[in-house]
């Protein structure tokens, strides 16, 4: 979730909690109001995390599988796509991998960008030497509308200024919280400065794909898990978060083998949780 979604979710929870408190003044309807408020909060939580937490848990519990294409099956925990080819099972899985730290998200732009690019290629070579199986590294990029991004960043800066003002007025805010807010404000200002200097924002989705095989579905899926673990270990030297893709996004990544998203908004909307 981004900061805007957090704000909306927080406000909704506050309204629900206010309804619970106010309901105590009307005993006749308090139970109904409280029950509705709690139900609303629970539904919001489920919807927010349904794609990659709730839905996979339900399908795994009930043993539900899906068929994204002829001959392919998404297993019940939605962490792999399996194909049976002549008695040999192939399992494919994905890992999020925003491997290059895009300077647009950084607090300060380093001067030695060229040296960093050279080091990145050397670190990449060292990482893949430890991998004994094939894998694919995907990069899906799309340029974004500059004015729209500027408005989003300016809105984010206004919210951060409000957070800072509230924290300063409260008096009980810890130093670490103040440092974090100030750091976010510097990053936001750096983004605005770069747009003003002509830098064009780009949405980039990066992920890795690997396939394992076995004489049974379980053997193939277990081997796939081993390979994904090896990828995560091999790329620990990079400053990134490697997470195994589950839920709705695994189906979307599978479809990317046939059809890419048409614009940046599609990338953002499809991968707002794990990407």
- Tens digits of residue pLDDT in 261-272: 766 666 666 554
Cα torsion 263, 196, 184, 143 to 10°: value is: 10
pLDDT value at position 180? 82
C-alpha to C-alpha distance for 75 and 65, rounded to whole angstroms: 5
**pTM for the full predicted model:** 0.65
The string over 112-151, giving b where at least 16 C-beta atoms fall within 10 Å of a residue's C-beta and e elsewhere, is eeeeeeeeeeeebeebeeeeeeebeeeebebebeeeebee
pLDDT value at position 44? 58
pLDDT band at 4 (very low <50, low <70, confident <90, very high): very low
* Tally of helices (H runs) and strands (E runs) in the chain: 9, 6
205, 266 Cβ separation under 8 angstroms: no
Return the minimum-mean-pLDDT range out of 140-154, 223-237, 256-270: 256-270
Nearest 5°: the CA angle 82, 86, 88 is: 50
Per-residue pLDDT for 189 more than 70? Answer: yes
pLDDT value at position 224? 96
Q: How far is CA 52 from the centre of its chain?
A: 10
């Amino acid at each position: 979730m981004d900061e805007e979604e957090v704000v909306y979710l927080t406000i909704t929870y506050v309204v629900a909690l206010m309804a619970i408190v106010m309901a105590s003044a009307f005993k006749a309807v308090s139970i109904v109001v409280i029950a509705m408020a709690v139900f609303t909060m629970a539904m919001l939580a489920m919807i927010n995390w349904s794609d990659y937490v709730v839905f996979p848990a339900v399908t795994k519990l009930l043993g539900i599988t899906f068929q994204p294409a002829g001959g392919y099956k998404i297993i019940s925990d939605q962490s792999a796509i399996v194909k049976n080819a002549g008695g040999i099972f192939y399992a494919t899985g994905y890992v999020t991998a925003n491997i290059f730290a895009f300077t647009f998200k950084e607090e300060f732009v380093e001067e030695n960008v060229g040296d960093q690019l050279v080091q990145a290629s050397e670190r990449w070579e060292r990482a893949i030497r430890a991998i004994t199986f094939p894998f694919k590294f995907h990069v899906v990029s799309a340029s974004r509308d500059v004015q729209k991004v500027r408005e989003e960043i300016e809105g984010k800066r206004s919210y951060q200024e409000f957070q800072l003002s509230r924290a300063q007025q409260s008096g009980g805010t810890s130093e670490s919280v103040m440092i974090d807010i100030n750091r976010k404000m510097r990053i936001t200002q750096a983004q605005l400065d770069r747009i003003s200097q002509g830098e064009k924002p780009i949405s980039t989705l990066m992920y890795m794909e690997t396939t394992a095989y076995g004489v049974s579905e379980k053997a193939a899926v277990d081997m796939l898990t081993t390979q994904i673990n090896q990828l995560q270990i091999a790329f620990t030297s990079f400053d990134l978060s490697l997470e195994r893709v589950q839920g709705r996004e695994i189906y979307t990544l599978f479809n990317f083998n046939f059809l890419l998203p048409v614009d940046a908004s599609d990338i953002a909307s499809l991968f707002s949780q794990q990407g």
